[in-house]
Each structure stands twice: as structure tokens, then as C-alpha cells.
Amino acid sequence: MQKSSSYLRKALFLLIFSVFSGISLKATGYGAETLRVVTTLPVLQDFVEVVGAPHVQVSSLISGLESEHTYTPKPSDMILIKKSKLLFKIGLGLETWVEALIKNADHPGLAVIVTSKNVPLIEEADHHDGEKSDHHAEGNPHIWLDPQNVKIMVAHIATALIAADPAHEGDYRKNTSNYLEKLDHLEKALLLKVSQLPDKKIMTHHPAWPYFAKRFGFEIKANILTQVGSEPSAKKMGTLIHLIQKEDIKVIVSEPQLNPKIPKILSEETGVMIVPLSPLPGALPGTEHYLDLIRYNVETLVSALKRSK
Ligand SMILES: [Zn+2]
């Protein structure tokens, strides 16, 4: 008797469950097997969508418009984490704001994947983030701005998706190898454009660009900000102005996620050209996907350096 009532309860539960999940499937347009994934940055969202298509539903905690250093989480971020099976982050102390979110979400089924693992790091030349003290040990976190590093990151993403959803391993592997080919192709085309430049000197807004500069051959003479969220002192401003004049720096790379005030002052003082580039996709028109973002950043910088001659 007891047994049959327990069966009844189970059957009733299953019925209710399937009715509700049926409704939610219709509402979202995703199939029952869709893997829910959350990423810290929109650039990781793009990678996971490319590798995971069409089996993943990916959300990014920050959009392209916030700084990756100073983001303040929203209440909806925790709900996203609770609903997800996988969370991808850069690591290296970049997303200091996500640790409390993960802890508060208290979601034991969540796998957190650090995509910077095994990426050859560039040490921080400047103090990058005021909130951490041991940043030198970890290296600069803006690894994704070098397409060669992205190959390693994408491999971590593929491994995690295959582990979570082995049924679609074939698709994940195929998507990955297609993307690696695209990365190589783009890099080759862009390297050719940079190689023709006589002047590759730039000053950057904050230290987001060492991997980008190293891969493509740009020469970073100085960073305006060493701590995101703080302003350079009058003495530092004097040093920067002197450096622009002495080294004949023609271009400052500014970022839409940061306050434009300081690059503007330097430009007014010296005539240096301000060229906005974005470390994250989606902040500038036509940069919604990583491949477009890298192409935009290199081509815009190349044409500015050509123009400045
Ligand atoms: Zn940064």
C-alpha cells in the first residue's frame, strides 16, 4: 500500500515536472539537452558559444561595457550561476568580484574552469590592480588578446564541455578545430599588415595590451593608469608628457571601459592621437565576436599609426 502511494507521488511529480519544463522550453527556445553555462567575461561567452554550438546556452556576467577589474555584481548574477552547470573564468586574480558570487550561490553542482591554465604569462610591468598585492606572482591577466593563447583557452573549454556533455563530443571537437584554423588565418593576415609599419610605438590606457603587443609587434612605451579606478599624479602626468615628446609617441590607445579624461589631457598637451580600442568584445560597433574584435583592434591601430606619419 505504502509502495503504491509512493509510485503515485513519483508519477505525479514527473507529470508536473514535464509540464513545467515543457513550458520553459517553449519560452526559451532551447532543447532539453542544452547545457547552461555562465562566463565572467563576454570574450569567454563568445568562445564557449563557438565551441559549444548548438548545444550550449551561455550568459556572461559582465557585458563589454564594464571594466573587467571594477565590476559590481548584480543580484541576477547569482541566479545565473545557480542555473548553470559550468562557470568559465580567466583566473590570475582578474575577476576578484566573482569569488563571493560563487560562494554565495552555494551551488555544489557547479564546475568552475580556469581558462588561463598553461598559458605562458607575461609578468606585470606595472602595478595593475590595487586590490591585490601578489599580482606579480600571477602575471598579467589579459591573455585573450593574443590569438595563440586563445588556442589554449579554447582547448580547456572543449575539455570541460565534453566532460559535462559527452554525447556531443564530436561537435565540440569539430567546432574547436574549425575555430583554431580561423584564429591562425586571421593572425597571419594581421601580422602582415603590422609588419609594413615603420612606427609601432604606442602608449596605453591601462596594462591590458602586453600580449596583444607582443604577438603583433607593437611597442608599448608606457601605461597611463597602473591601477584601474585611480588617477595618475601630477608628477606621473609630467613624466608621461615628457615621454610622449622624447620618444615621439604618436598614438594613445584608450579604452571605452575607462574614463577618457586623462588621455584627453595628454592629447591636448602634446597633440598625441587618441585611438579607442577595446579589450572586450561588444563595447565598440562591429566587435561583438572575438575574431572581429582582434581584427578591429589591429586594423584601427595600424591605420592610426600610418596616418600619424
Ligand atoms: Zn585590465
Ligand 1: distance of its center to the CA of 131 in Å? 12
What pLDDT was estimated at residue 31? 53
- pLDDT at residue number 216: 98
What is the CA(67)–ligand 1 centre distance, in A? 7
Question: CB–CB of 227/253 below 8 Å?
Answer: no
Ligand 1 centroid to Cα of residue 69, in Å, is 6
Question: Ligand 1 centroid vs 27 CA: distance in angstroms?
Answer: 37
> Could you give the strand order of the β-sheet that contains 86-89, starting from the edge strand earlier in sequence?
56-60, 35-39, 86-89, 111-114
- Write down the residue that cell numbers 513545467 correspond to: 20
Please work out, in degrees rounded to the nearest 5, the angle formed at the alpha carbon of residue 153 by the alpha carbons of 148 and 158.
125
Q: What angle do CA 191, 193, 199 make, to 5 degrees?
A: 100
Residues forming a β-bridge with 275: 253
In the chain the domains, ranked by start, together with CATH numbers, are: 31-186 (3.40.50.1980), 198-307 (3.40.50.1980)
Determine the distance separating the centroid of ligand 1 and the alpha carbon of 20, expressed in angstroms.
43
pLDDT digits (tens, 9 = 90+) for 136-184: 458 999 999 999 999 999 999 999 999 999 999 999 999 999 999 999 9
Give residue 15's pLDDT: 46
Task: Average the pLDDT over 19-43 and give the result.
Answer: 67
Centre of ligand 1 to C-alpha 225, Å, is 10
Categorize the per-residue pLDDT at 229 as very low, low, confident or very high, splitting at 50, 70 and 90.
Answer: confident
pLDDT of residue 228: 83
Ligand 1 center–CA 277 separation, angstroms: 13
Give 43 or 9, the one with higher predicted confidence. Answer: 43
What cell does 121 get? 604569462
| 223 CA from centroid of ligand 1 (Å) | 11
Alpha-carbon distance of 201 to 282, in angstroms, equals 26
- For residue 241, how far is its CA from the centre of ligand 1 (angstroms)? 22
Report how far ligand 1's centroid is from the alpha carbon of 279 (Å). 8
* pLDDT, position 136: 43
User: What is the Å distance from ligand 1's center to 133 Cα?
Assistant: 15
What is the sign of the dihedral through the CA atoms of 131, 134, 140 and 143? negative
Segment 106-127 shows an average pLDDT of 90
Classify burial at 64, counting beta carbons within 10 Å of its beta carbon; exposed 0-12, middle 13-18, buried 19 or more: buried
Q: How many whole angstroms from 25 Cα to the centroid of ligand 1?
A: 38
The 3-state secondary structure of 7-26 reads HHHHHHHHHHHHHHHHHHHH
Question: Where is pLDDT greater, at 42 or 11?
Answer: 42
Query: Please, what is the average pLDDT of the chain?
Result: 89
Q: How far is the CA of 266 from the centre of ligand 1 (A)?
A: 20
